[in-house]
A and B are shown apart, each in its own frame.
Chain A
């Protein structure tokens, strides 16, 4: 240490005032500001994407919740029905009666538009058939004034929501430019209007050429049955596996193997789970295709790692002193875990499970492989048990099917479906947050 010579430093800085900034300091301060700005820009970009995403979901999806109907006051007497039934073209007779009623309402509003039966058919579909079926089913309504709400075609619906305009429309057998005059007149008379679209929420998937009739109800039911399976299987299995790994597992190769498997399964692409489901559950075990039961099994396997990881975290958060206290009064290890540790960890486990379920609820790809595509969801299952085994779809798969269809009318349904899906996810996450806030315990 002799070489720590005492010469004064010749290189380096001179004694300068602290408040005098040299060029280098200024440059460094600028670099500092720039770096900070990058961070702010990054966060702002992320949040911007989030806003754009939600803005497009809301702006595109909300129209799905309204539909356009033509409501006409209509009275059919017994005599008129008998006359119509006696003609050769029965539905045409009903249709003529309807057009007469419509004309009358337009006249009352002081509007004069020319239209023919074909135009009515383009706007409202086969009206005659609808009316005939209604009176055949409800003969007691004969003679009473009835307000008919008839769904307008998807083009007319699009015209109302701004999807179709006079400039973009091309004459076709679906809609002609001249029809829009009639629509405008009906609108002025208050005959055609927008109402809340209950059929979208309660209905099932429609054919590829009928976007107006498509509803998400059946696939919500499919998702519900799948979630029942996932909950019934993944919660007990996940908790049991976590308890084993956290409390009982010896330090050995087998435990390591389980741990490695869990952490890897958590990162396996979901589509691979779909392949597993297809090969094992459908090809090998011959479980029914497109069944929510199989979907639930696949999603269970996919969700298990998530649930195990969060459950283990909540078990780990229970301090060892609790276990020691239980063991100290002579409880067995098993009793200590089930009587003390598990109840204390329960809120955390529940939170993790709900988040795992929410993740499973939004999963699409594996469902497509096991046949739970949207067009399968043509109706509600008959009964509780059938809900598990009858072919059905799930919300995200239904949305995918709509998005993949050629008719742009389905896009609105897809966005609307996303709003419903997100409402479910939001609810689940809020429940999870409330649970965490309410029961979270800091040791």
Chain B
């Protein structure tokens, strides 16, 4: 089950991109995340695994303050991106989210053309000075999203008309178009078929070269295939965090072992 032969692991120590200390999240009266400490490294894929409802997605949404849009959610603790507290009062979440992009569980292309979907981020952030530059950004992002070849002849077609896998790659292209430094992915493959999943996973591995990628997944195999670091969440606690190989072959915590061997979850 621990299929680790496919990914060669180069575990060089990268600088820490995102440092989280004593993180707590409350949903109304529910204590959803308890005392989580995680360091997300630059140019690394970090996977969050755990049974559903364990808080991994909630924690992920703290990293670019997406929880701000939920009225009842309350976040405590320190989250530092390149040493700056992202929950500082002076921080505009809008600027933060431009640096920390996000891809969601269900592909959510806007009801616009493929071109406009990708151009949306650069436009609102003013990344392109003219149409030619924007075209360039769109093409580059679509190429990075590994979907350029499929859509280059129909950039004016609506993004909602693509297949599920294509839509998700379009959403990834849309996210990288704003040149984020960290890319958060919330179960990006859960709505996709195996072939599309393989394509997206390949893409994630390539994105690692430039970004720090955090991926939430409920599939342990996927975590094993794409990530270098893995964090295991259980009931709102971070149970174990370490090298992916170590977590899957030699877990320290008995709960981690139970989960990866299929006894709980």
Contact = CB atoms under 8 A, between A and B. Distances in A.
Interface of A: 1, 3-4, 6, 8-9, 11-13, 15, 17-19, 21, 24-25, 28-29
B151 interface: no
A13 B94 CA distance: 14
A35 to B, nearest CB: 13
B128 A18 contact: no
A21 B92 contact: yes
A25 B148 CA distance: 31
Contacts of A11: 127-128, 133, 136-137, 179
Contacts of A18: 81, 84, 86, 88, 91-92, 95-96, 99
Given A11-B133, A28-B94, A19 B88 contact: yes
Contact of A29 (B82, B92, B137, B179): B92
A217 B46 CA distance: 79
Contacts of B202: 1
Contact of A8 (B122, B137, B143, B210): B210
A18 B97 CA distance: 10
Contacts of A21: 92, 95
Contacts of B91: 18-19
B162 interface: no
21 contacts: A3-B143, A3-B148, A4-B143, A4-B146, A4-B207, A8-B210, A11-B133, A11-B137, A11-B179, A13-B125, A18-B86, A18-B88, A18-B92, A18-B99, A19-B88, A19-B90, A19-B91, A25-B92, A25-B95, A29-B92, A29-B94
B45 interface: no
A11 to B, nearest CB: 6
Nearest to B147: A1
A15 B96 CA distance: 12
B203 interface: yes
Interface residues of B, number: 35
A172 B206 CA distance: 97
Contacts of B179: 9, 11-13
Nearest to A19: B90
Contacts of A8: 210
Contacts of B125: 13, 24
A250 B202 CA distance: 51
Nearest to A27: B126
Given A1-B206, A18-B86, A24 B128 contact: no
A139 to B, nearest CB: 79
A28 B209 CA distance: 32
B144 interface: yes
Contacts of A6: 209-210
A103 B124 CA distance: 87
Contacts of A13: 98, 125, 127, 179
Interface of B: 81-82, 84, 86, 88, 90-92, 94-96, 98-99, 122, 124-128, 133, 136-137, 143-144, 146, 148, 178-179, 181, 202-203, 206-207, 209-210
Nearest to B96: A18
Given A3-B143, A25-B94, 12 more contacts: A4-B146, A4-B206, A9-B210, A11-B137, A12-B137, A13-B179, A18-B95, A21-B92, A24-B125, A25-B92, A28-B124, A29-B94
Contacts of A19: 84, 88, 90-91
A123 to B, nearest CB: 66
Contacts of A17: 84
Contacts of B206: 1, 4
B88 to A, nearest CB: 6
A12 B144 CA distance: 16
Contacts of A9: 179, 210
> Nearest 10 CB-CB pairs, A to B?
A12-B179, A19-B90, A18-B91, A1-B146, A4-B144, A3-B143, A18-B84, A4-B206, A12-B127, A24-B126
Contacts of A15: 82, 181
A119 to B, nearest CB: 71
Contacts of B82: 15
A13 B125 CA distance: 9
A17 B96 CA distance: 10
Contacts of B207: 4
B25 to A, nearest CB: 20
Contacts of B146: 1, 4
Contacts of B209: 6
Contacts of B181: 15
A18 to B, nearest CB: 5
A118 to B, nearest CB: 75
A11 B206 CA distance: 20
A4 to B, nearest CB: 5
A17 B137 CA distance: 23
B254 to A, nearest CB: 40
A1 B203 contact: yes
Nearest to B203: A1
A29 B203 CA distance: 34
Contacts of A25: 92, 94-95
Contacts of B148: 3
A286 B228 CA distance: 88
A6 B137 CA distance: 15
Contacts of A28: 94, 124
Nearest to A16: B95
B126 to A, nearest CB: 5
A28 B128 CA distance: 16
Contacts of B84: 17-19
A13 B210 CA distance: 14
